[in-house]
Structure 1
Amino acid sequence: MCLVTGQWLFGTGEAMIVAAQLGNSPWTVFAQGTAMRAGLSIGLMTNLIGALVLLLWVPLRQRPGLGTVANVLLVGTALDVTAHWLPAPSGLPERIALCLGGILVVALGSGIYLTTGLGPGPRDGLMTGIARVSGWPLAAARVAVEATVLIAGWLLGGAAGLGTLLFAVFIGPCVQIAVRLIGRMPDRDL
């Protein structure tokens, strides 16, 4: 249950960030840009990109888990469902609050699903696989991959901006805190 809850929250947080219209997380900038070109929803494109990223795992000898497969199915679906129901924020303070709230929800969702130990999401597995095979530090692999998809997504028309910067600055520390807090909770139903 934690796996599904965590990944649904992750997609919900991404929808909040998109709705804030201040710029998306790097992978969502890419999903939005490709979705616009393909005439698909951003959530469906998020799921399709997740599935395609799994193909990049093959030469890296990464092994998917149940969490990996669930990520491909749930995150984009939650993004689309939540985006359908979210009201448009009216002013800049509301948009900033929605964006920051979305970052916190993504971090909480990440903390919940990562502590299940059922496998990383496709994008995280790509970065850890690149780091392992190349010998790069994980931070360098993450920056290289996320900068690449961010630039590609922006060139395709995805929204990058203040929200993208806020995501980049806050997501790592917030996920770390969420993992630490959730990891201490007794009797979690995985």
Structure 2
Amino acid sequence: MEQISNPVTTYIKRLPRLMFGYFLYALGIALTVDANLGLAPWDVLHQGLSQTLGITFGTASIGVGIIIVALNVKLGERVGWGTIGNMIFIGVFLDLLFGSGLLPSLESVPFRVIQLFAGMYIIGLASYVYLGCGMGSGPRDGLMVALTKKTGKPVGLIRSGIELCVLVVGYFLGGSIGIGTVLTALGIGIAVQHVFKLVKFDVKGQKHRFVDEDLAWVRAK
């Protein structure tokens, strides 16, 4: 993405794609939760918090996102408007989906496994849609990157350590774990990578614009 002289116009053009990406991401998460085979590590935490605090699943997701974004900033990681949108709108869409009554809630275990994998691939497609806007990555990915930079440890080790920690906390708060937890922990990364390969998306080559750049642009005006 080239340097933007007026970011407002560009962001308005990209907003529909960005929001569609958030909706798809929420749909993917909702399908994996509704499969009722055990939740992904972060969703175990969100469910545990929602049950413990008496809040909705989406509100728990937003609250965790706010804490992570604040931590990312403290660790020196740059934040994009897309990061902030990810923090808010995925949680909003999750509550809308869970309250819609449109999720399949299948009884057959084989079909629920298919639903789980469908959710993971939808998350992969959603990642391509919103990351392709060049407006910043999600809060949780930012935390992984920030801790990798700070510790100098391999990114795989950092990601596994983060997910193990949130899984343990979520479990003790009452979150659901099961075979789906293992499948999503191992499979989401593969699904995302597969989707990126299919659409020929080079995530490393994608350039992002960050909030601090836009604030500098406003001050310059």
Fold match, TM over 0.5? Answer: yes
Residues 85-131 of structure 1 show CA distances to partners (whole Å, capped at 9, x for unaligned) of 21321221222121111111111111221222211111110010000
Task: Please state how far the C-alpha of 1:136 moved relative to its aligned partner.
Answer: 1.0
Residues 45-89 of structure 1 show CA distances to partners (whole Å, capped at 9, x for unaligned) of 111110111111133101110110110111112222222221321
What is residue 70 of structure 2 aligned with on the other side? 55
Distance 1:179 1:114 in 2: 11
Work out the number of aligned pairs and report it: 184
Residues 149-174 of structure 1 show CA distances to partners (whole Å, capped at 9, x for unaligned) of 01110111111111111112211121
Task: Please state how far the C-alpha of 1:179 moved relative to its aligned partner.
Answer: 2.3
Q: Greater Rg, structure 1 or structure 2?
A: 2
Q: Which amino acid in structure 2 is aligned with residue 174 of structure 1? A: A
Task: Please state how far the C-alpha of 1:133 moved relative to its aligned partner.
Answer: 1.0
- How many percent identity over aligned positions? 36
Distance 1:83 1:94 in 2: 19
CA RMSD of aligned residues (A): 1.4
> Relative to structure 2, which stretch is displaced further, 112-121 or 59-68?
112-121
Segments of 5+ residues of structure 2 without an aligned counterpart are 1-15, 202-221
Q: Which amino acid in structure 2 is aligned with residue 107 of structure 1? A: G
Segments of 5+ residues of structure 1 without an aligned counterpart are 185-190
- Of 178, 182, 186, the residue aligned with 2:195 is 178
Q: Which amino acid in structure 1 is aligned with residue 47 of structure 2? A: Q
- TM-score, normalised to structure 2, is 0.79
Distance 1:67 1:21 in 2: 30
1:1-190 equivalences under 5 Å are 1-84=16-99, 85-183=102-200
Q: Secondary structure at the match of 2:199?
A: helix
Task: Please state how far the C-alpha of 1:27 moved relative to its aligned partner.
Answer: 0.6
Cα distance change on mapping 1:170 and 1:22 into 2, 3 Å: same
Task: Please state how far the C-alpha of 1:177 moved relative to its aligned partner.
Answer: 2.2
> Relative to structure 2, which stretch is displaced further, 56-65 or 128-137?
56-65
- TM-score, normalised to structure 1, is 0.91
Distance 1:116 1:176 in 2: 18
Distance 2:39 2:81 in 1: 27
